[in-house]
Amino acid sequence: MSTFENFNISKQLHYAIEDLGFDVPTPIQEGAFSVILSGKDMVGIAQTGTGKTFAYMLPLLQDLKFSKQTNPRILVMVPTRELVVQVVEQIKSFSKYLTVRVVGVYGGVNMNTQAQAVAQGADIVVATPGRLYDLVLSRALQLKDVKKLVIDEVDVMLDLGFRFQLINIFELLPERRQNIMFSATMTDDVDALINDFFVIPAKISIAVSGTPLENISQQVYAVPNFYTKINLLNHLLRDKQEFHKVLVFVSNKRSADKVFECLEERYADESAVIHSNKTQNYRLRSINQFDEGKNRILVATDIMARGLDLDKISHVINFDTPNYPENYMHRIGRTGRAEELGKSILFYTEKEAPYKEAIEALMDYSIPVMEIPEKVAISEELTPEERPKIIEGNNPEERSEDAGSGFHEKSEKNKKTNQGGSYKRIIAQKYKKPKTRGDKNYNKRNKRK
């Protein structure tokens, strides 16, 4: 079995690893170390929770020499603000015994403060694409000395519409650089990005996207509608000893707010919510309180929770069934981390059944079906999205041959058509043509006739 002792790294990094309590490298950490250290371009495909941040930072920190220069030499791009904060904290813990300056930049806060921070000098900049591009355009940050580029969770970045910023940033970077990319899925967009900007990259794939983690038990409930899902969720969460740290996944921001409002009635002091419409301080506070155990329930959308390092999660509850089966894998990867046992529960309605079947097909595994407990009330209340839509038939303009007694000829009053005001009709009759500003003498000539 390989250990970190076998890695050719400095004593300072070994000390940091010991402090963090890491003993054995994960497969992605072991596979990526020598490739990144060699200077080759690399693409890593690995599931969430496999230690990707440490996989690229360990060899980069080993190769990073002390320097007093202002411009950064390593650029790390991630999709969300929360990930910037998390990655900066992790890099600081990895480089505890090294002299490394790390700065995080992201939207939602004052750009001048971040411009001042990078102006003081940084070895590593961790950024979201949008704010990074703004800082470069304002000339507060220069990328001319970047030797190593890391793009983490690139598939999420492309889903969020960051392709334009990514391409522009690539063009601003030095041509001679090492490109490192990590993604949980290999989509056509990701593949196109690799073909355009990477030079014969080494590809390291640790796990197939549909491979379920062995230490996660899975269950599924067939539920008729949204409010029955709420009733079932409330019933499960009553067991505070079993469900002591629960991540509830929903499909969108509106659903997140609605679920959170329903939970607040019973679990006001125990629940929190996170999605992109919340303020930066609110989002960070929600994550910290959940991670520290002050809240045991966190309602989140896929994008907001993607890549976040949240430990000791007892259950992942999929309140909404994701329409992309790969997202289910990312969700359940939040529990059962570091070889601990985890549990995943999936709710699905009749409309969501095809998504559930796609998930099972991807995993090549049938999730055990559970019966809804008798104590859970089956709600008849429907959300506006669930209510059947009433579609009115087209009303024909003319009476059909077999029209019933409900159709009749228009009355004389209703047969009238709009011919303009009386003034317009009189002018038209008198001058044969409405007055125009283009030919002032036209009306005079016609009047003489």
Structure-block tokens of residue 200: 């014969």
- Among 353, 380, 355, smallest CA distance to 228 is for 380
- Spell out the residues 6+ positions from residue 330 whose beta carbon is closer than 8 angstroms to its own: 47, 48, 184, 302, 306
d(CA 275, CA 257): 9
pTM: 0.70
The torsion angles phi and psi of 252, rounded to 5 degrees, stand at -150, 175
d(CA 42, CA 44): 6
Q: Burial letters for 214-227: b for 16+ Cβ neighbours within 10 Å, e otherwise?
A: eebbbebbbbebbb
pLDDT (tens digit, 9 = 90+) per residue, 185-206? Answer: 777 888 888 888 888 999 888 7
DSSP helix/strand/coil, 12:
helix
- Residue 278 CB neighbours (<10 A): 19
- Among 156, 159, 160, 122, smallest CA distance to 142 is for 122
The amino acid at residue 200 is I
d(CA 130, CA 322): 27
- Spell out the residues 6+ positions from residue 277 whose beta carbon is closer than 8 angstroms to its own: 253
DSSP helix/strand/coil, 328:
helix
d(CA 233, CA 271): 13
Domains and CATH numbers, the chain: 4-205 (3.40.50.300), 216-370 (3.40.50.300)
DSSP string covering 21-34: T--S--HHHHHHHH
Q: pLDDT tens for the chain, 449 residues: list them.
A: 578 888 889 999 999 999 988 888 888 899 999 999 999 999 988 776 678 889 999 999 999 999 999 999 999 999 888 889 989 999 999 999 999 999 999 988 889 999 999 999 999 999 999 999 999 999 999 999 999 999 988 888 887 788 888 888 998 999 889 999 988 777 788 888 888 888 899 988 875 555 566 778 999 999 999 999 999 999 999 999 999 999 999 988 889 999 999 998 888 888 988 887 777 778 888 888 888 888 999 998 887 766 677 778 899 999 999 888 878 887 887 787 656 788 999 999 999 999 999 999 988 889 999 999 999 999 988 888 888 877 666 655 544 444 454 555 666 656 666 665 666 666 666 665 545 555 555 555 555 55
Dmax of the chain from CA atoms? Answer: 111
